Amino acid sequence: MKTEIFKFQWLMILVAGLFITSCTDTSDFADDASIEALAEEVVTRTVDENALGRGNCYELIFPVTVNFPDASTATVESLEALKEAIKTWRKENPRVRTRPSLAFPFSVINAAGEVILVENTTQQRELRAACGKPGHGNGPGKNKSCFKINFPFSVTLPNSTVITLNAKEDRKVLHDAIKAYKEANPGNRVKPTLVFPISVTMEDGTIATVNDSEALKALKESCK
């Protein structure tokens, strides 16, 4: 009788071990479809929260940094690169539920050529509210940039100071300059502006020269 009980106990332990192993294997694995879905969801949320890209009000000044829940970061130079970075991270972190997000500060430009520094969630909500447009849904332009501004380019502050960015590493110089100006002039609502002409890379890879704010507005209007 004791032998039979002993065998039964070992059988139950074996079954429990197989069950636990099965659950662990499942929870530690994310299939391609779920990885793709998460990456698409995060990029869509990023686009909608900030009114970015085709059919919306603003374009990101790349590169931008994405924060991951495990405190790691990645620097990306396009929305497509953002999606790929999220997919790579998700494959290595299938069990984490918290979503990645853009790191503050980041800068955007509007159709008038104004440069807007976004330093926190409050400013992010104000940015979205100022656009006043709905997101661009599920159409062919979903989650696509209209264009990416190319280096070098310059930005004029309202006090006539000109900041030139020669490479992506200079973005912090721009952020710091705009932040310092805003702190020194809290009541001034005038925004920094791009110095034209600028060179941009379109979503299809072509390079275009934009000579003034009217041309920039026309370019944004054409990206729908």
The SS3 of residue 135 is coil
Q: pLDDT tens, 166-197?
A: 999 999 999 999 999 999 999 898 999 999 99
**Both 25 and 46 in a single domain?**
no
**Both 11 and 77 in a single domain?**
no
According to the model, what pLDDT value does residue 19 have? Answer: 41
The number of distinct structural domains making up the chain is 2
**Both 3 and 57 in a single domain?**
no
Average pLDDT rounded to a whole number, residues 204-224: 94
**Both 48 and 140 in a single domain?**
yes
**Both 26 and 55 in a single domain?**
no
**Both 141 and 54 in a single domain?**
yes
Q: Is the CB of residue 214 less than 8 Å from the CB of residue 179? A: no
**Both 21 and 41 in a single domain?**
no
Burial level of 170, CB count in 10 A (0-12/13-18/19+)? middle
**Both 48 and 20 in a single domain?**
no
Structural domain that includes position 3: 1-30
Q: pLDDT tens, 90-121?
A: 999 998 989 999 999 999 999 999 999 999 99
Q: pLDDT tens, 43-88?
A: 999 999 999 999 999 999 999 999 999 999 999 999 999 999 999 9
Beta bridge partners of 75: 65
**Both 8 and 90 in a single domain?**
no
